[in-house]
Amino acid sequence: MRMQLSPEIVRGFAGYRRFVVVALGIDNQAGGERAAAFLEEQQERVRADRKLEQPREVSRIAAWRQAFQSLGEDADVTPPSIQALVEGIKAGRSIGTHNTAVALLNAISLKYLLPCGGDDLDKVEGDLALRPARGDELFVAFDGNRVERPPKGEIVLADQRKVLCRRWVWKQGVHTTIEAESINVAIDVDVLPVIAEEEGRRAAMELAERIRELAGGEVSVHLLAEGQPAVELPEPARRRQVRKNVYDVLEERGYIEQTTDRTLARELLGQGTTLYEGFDPTKPSLHIGHLMSLVALHHLQEAGNRIIYLNGGGTAQVGDPSEKSQARKVMTLDEIRANSAQIKRQVQAMGLVDFENDWPGRPKAILEDNANWLNMPLLDFAREVTVHFSVNELVKRETFRDRLEREEPLSLFELLYCTLQGFDFLHLFDHYGCRVQLGGNDQWGNITDGVALIKRKRGETAVGVTVPLITRGGLKIGKTGGGEAVWLAGEGPSSTSPFDFYQHWVQTADDDVGRMMRLYTFLSLDEIDELTAGDPRVAQRRLAFEVTRIVHGEKAARQAQEEAGQAFAAAEGLPQGVPTVTVTEEQLQAGLLLRQVLKDGGAAPSVGEAKRLLLSGAVQINGHKVDDPLRAVTTDDLLAYGQQRGALVRFGKGKVIVVLLQR
């Protein structure tokens, strides 16, 4: 295992040193009383030291604050760990002992006023680096319930998969926490030039000696500095098997945004429980925003959880107002029933959720519809459910608050939606023992309402888990560049053809491909790393193929792949002199009308003539007939083949215009 300092740290902070104490094969439960006594001794010293009454003014702490500020961090909001440690003690708080290694690292941190942090090496994946964040890595704070993604450029300690510590020496994460069972650990001792290198070394050596004395094992000290920015850490002779459960898998792949109780959610999903997610049938098809949840449900079912797919035949009659700036159109019962039937067939056909096979250790999924219980008498519902909801709290929610501030209508019908969803959770808890609800992050308020209702009515603790709302270009992932939904249905109303579906994924930005692969495919993380390290076009086409295969099947995915290749290969094989219209991304985002392209490419002498050409049905884009005079060319029309991106516009008898994106 290798640890290294990034050039940004080496160049920006001359004289910075990181000592790494590696302790292998320790007994982290031995010597606990002596470690606790040493920690308490250092806490008493800090409490009694009048020079530490204003920790921020102490030179060793002030130097870290200055370093944070030079990186653009607000040291008052996110203070260096040593400042937070000292201020906590001065405020009357005590540091928990936890285990021998953690007690010793905190004691040394206080004794020398140096930031120290530790990690369980058996939980680390790949090499370690103190470097700028990429922007897509996950971090969960110790005892935190929300997944954070450190912004690009923030200095973090990270391994191959995740962030271990944010903002250099600010806050450690939960994923590599040193536990009493840990046997192989690495502890960092960070030293700025305000402290002599020898004193930093003395602190690291004392920590190493105390670990060796109390916990045993093979202990060594390593230095990273300007002249030595990387070091090979010794490999353990024996590793502890740290089992990942399905919650860890989902978190690592990026499915989890926040939970009401991370510890309980991880325990329940890891051992196998009953969970549900609801889908309102507002259209005759689901879209790719829903697809991410279905893939997550597949992971959960395969890990032994019982899935309840809840069709919102009842709640769809109201319409979820979450994240909506205006009232939804009320649907008819016939529309809801027709959509429900179509979506049920769609979900079952994809096979991501298995409703048929009940196997040992992997129960079959249950298909439910809340229309079956939301028809209860109004007075019963008011007495049993709505009495537990506060209107004062509901109108504070952003969705409702914004509409009230704009003096837009807000019906009682909409306000009741969260009570209906909360009752869904209670009903499924009572009838199926359902303990977990999964949903989009825009459902957080509704989900927590259900958790609270179960607590009030049954005295039991249920859990809510949300998946992120992925955006691209300011739009939810379910939308195209033109603002249209990307449907899972390949034909009929509310549909996207397999070819257009494939092309949507090919257009994924280079920086987003890895994340989309983790969320929308079943490729291993190692294979995803390998693909994203190579040619981005290859990775984009692989992403497009895999997602199209999941939704439309292998045959349709291969056909879409071949059509995309043939379409642009045809453009490359056109004779010289074929009209070319070069466009920019800005033009496409602004809405470049196809009739303007036809005029610019010489297909018509004026925009009016181009409009008539469109109305005649003689125009195609990438082989698809277009007769709408208001049709715009968007980024979703661009085919990716080789190093080019563009679209083929055909008109008349064999005439072609090539639309190319400016490089």
Answer yes or no: are the C-beta atoms of 79 and 73 closer than 8 Å: no
442 flagged as catalytic: yes
Sequence-ordered list of residues with C-beta below 8 angstroms from that of 221, at least 6 positions apart, any chain? 19, 20, 21, 22, 201, 204, 205, 208
Structure tokens at 267: 């325990």
What are the boundaries of each domain within the chain?
Answer: 2-232, 246-471, 498-569, 580-661
- Contact, 447 vs 418, CB < 8 A? no
Query: Of 421, 437, 443, 634, which one is the catalytic site residue?
Result: 421
Rounded Cα gap, residues 543 and 525, in angstroms: 13
Q: Which residue has the higher pLDDT, 89 or 244?
A: 89
Would you call 287 a catalytic residue per the annotation?
Answer: yes
Residue 42, pLDDT score: 98
Verify whether residue 324 is a known catalytic residue. Answer: yes
Of 58-72, 286-300, 386-400, the least confident: 386-400
396 as an active site residue: the answer is no
Q: Which one from 167, 262, 287, 549 is the annotated catalytic residue?
A: 287
Mean pLDDT (the chain) is: 90
DSSP string, 517-571: HHHH----HHHHHHHHTS-HHHHHHHHHHHHHHHHH-HHHHHHHHHHHHHHHHHH
Q: Which of 122, 127, 248, 442 does the annotation list as catalytic?
A: 442
- Please state which of the ranges 139-148, 312-321, 461-470, 488-497 shows the lowest mean pLDDT: 312-321
Largest CA distance in the chain: 91
pLDDT given at position 654 = 66
Is 299 among the residues known to form the active site? no
Q: Which residue's entry shows tokens 């994809």?
A: 350
Residue 480 is a catalytic residue? yes
Spatial separation of the C-alpha atoms in residues 478 and 480, rounded to whole Å: 7
Is pLDDT above 90 for 646? no
At how many degrees (to 10) do helices 513-520 and 288-302 cross?
50
| C-alpha separations of 643 from 500, 656, 660, 661 in Å | 20, 21, 11, 11
pLDDT of residue 481: 46
What is the separation, in whole angstroms, between the first and last Cα of the chain? Answer: 40
Q: Which of 184-188, 330-334, 438-442, 653-657 shows the lowest mean pLDDT across its residues?
A: 653-657
Tokens of 550: 């999941």
Active site (annotated) includes residue 552? no
Inform me whether the pLDDT recorded for 572 exceeds 80.
no
Whole-number Å distance between alpha carbons of 56 and 74:
13
CATH code 3.40.50.620 for 246-471? yes
Q: What percent of the chain has pLDDT over 90?
A: 68
Task: Please tell me which residue in 167, 253, 290, 299 is annotated as part of the active site.
Answer: 290
Residue 293 has pLDDT above 60, yes or no: yes
580-661 folds as: 3.10.290
Collapsing DSSP to helix, strand or coil, 191 comes out as strand
Of 258, 282, 419, 635, catalytic? 282
Residue 545: the pLDDT is 96
Nearest to 521, CA basis, from 551, 555, 494, 479: 551
Name which of 392-396, 557-561, 609-613 the model is least confident about: 392-396
Lowest mean pLDDT among 213-217, 387-391, 598-602, 651-655: 651-655
- The single residue of 342, 466, 480, 540 carrying the catalytic annotation is 480
pLDDT beyond 90 at 386: no
Cα separation, 288 vs 494, whole angstroms: 12
Residue 322: per-residue pLDDT: 58
pLDDT at position 642: 52
What is the reported pLDDT for 570?
57
The hierarchical CATH code for the domain 498-569 is: 1.10.240.10
Mean of pLDDT values over 504-516 = 90
Task: Report residue 330 CA to chain centroid gap.
Answer: 32
Q: Is the pLDDT reported for residue 396 higher than 80?
A: yes
Higher pLDDT, 249 or 416: 249
Do 246-471 and 580-661 fold alike per CATH? Answer: no
| Active-site residue, selected from the candidate residues 476, 537, 631, 655 | 476
Third-level CATH fold of 2-232: Phenylalanyl-tRNA Synthetase; Chain B, domain 3 (3.50.40)
The answer to whether 235 touches 220, Cβ cutoff 8 Å, is: no
* Residue 600: how many other CB atoms lie within 10 Å: 19
Residue 216 has pLDDT above 70, yes or no: yes
Dist. CA 121–CA 244, nearest whole Å: 15
For range 566-583, the mean pLDDT:
67
What's the whole-model pTM score?
0.82
Q: Which residues, 6+ apart, have CB-to-CB distance to 533 below 8 Å?
A: none
Average pLDDT over residues 87-103: 94
Question: How many beta carbons lie within 10 A of that of residue 170, not counting itself?
Answer: 23
Of the residues 90, 328, 388, 397, only one is catalytic, namely 328
